[in-house]
Structure 1
Amino acid sequence: MRDDLGSSILPCRLTLAAWRRRSEDPRGERKRPKTLTQSGQSVISWANTCISSHQTFAKIMDFYKNLTVSDWASLIPFGIACAAVGFGVKTVVDKQIGGPCNPKIRKGESKVVDTVDIEELGNKAVFCRCWRSSKFPYCDGTHNQHNVACGDNVGPLIVKKKD
């Protein structure tokens, strides 16, 4: 249901005291509510009211300030359940999206670049592509554990001389 100003209006039931509180502005002047009747329902709306005002935040904080120890204790299971759901969602999202591919190697640099002289390679060199090697840029086989843990299939880059 919409009023003539285009804002949505929801049906509500108000007590007389609540109606009086809502119909007074901070200066003590009365605001006149709009009343629309449609299909047998009376709908009351007030102009210039916002549910996200500073008073709403203050009321929420008052609610938490007035909780007793037993009230806080009864919230513990709910908090644990929320933490468990959050951890579960994070685990699923991390498996699907993954974290950064470089977890620890030279994080202070904007771009990690290594140069290896071909003459120094010898017959064969094995380079890390999973970013988990403790001998980076050379592979130490850490990608095997990474592949099992993450369901990945990354392997090393092998550079060797032609026979």
Structure 2
Amino acid sequence: MDLISNFFKRDVSKYFRDLPLPNSFGGLMNLSGEDFLKLVPLLSVLALFSYILFREINNLGKKKQVSWVNKSLMKNKPKIADIYTKEDISKIIDKEKKVAYCRCWKSQSFPFCDGSHTFHNTVTGDNVGPLVLRE
């Protein structure tokens, strides 16, 4: 705790006391290069604080944008739930040897995967793929 106390009471106060702050804007022209270097940390902190304050005030009235996973499939329904029995799945697996269910919400044959995730992954760098059930 001594370290923190000394830092703020001794070192920071000395830093502010020794700053070459001019009394007017015209006085800025009389500062040497070394004086400007002494002001860099203070001006940097003030600039950062001003930027953060401006950004927060600017975003106050903006509504947060919602990112929908399902952008187009069955949007007229409040919730989509596809129910398949073991027999339904077994019939598909017996015929096709596997069944793939879409997880990217882009398939034209939803809920089954048609490979639409491949283009999505290429464009976005995502790595989504289907749920695959095999015999």
TM range (shorter): 0.3 to 0.5
When normalised by structure 2's length, the TM-score is: 0.44
Question: Per residue, is there more helix in 1 or in 2?
Answer: 2
Question: Per residue, is there more strand in 1 or in 2?
Answer: 1
When normalised by structure 1's length, the TM-score is: 0.37
> Looking at both structures, which has the greater relative contact order when contacts are Cα pairs under 8 Å and sequence separation is at least 6?
2
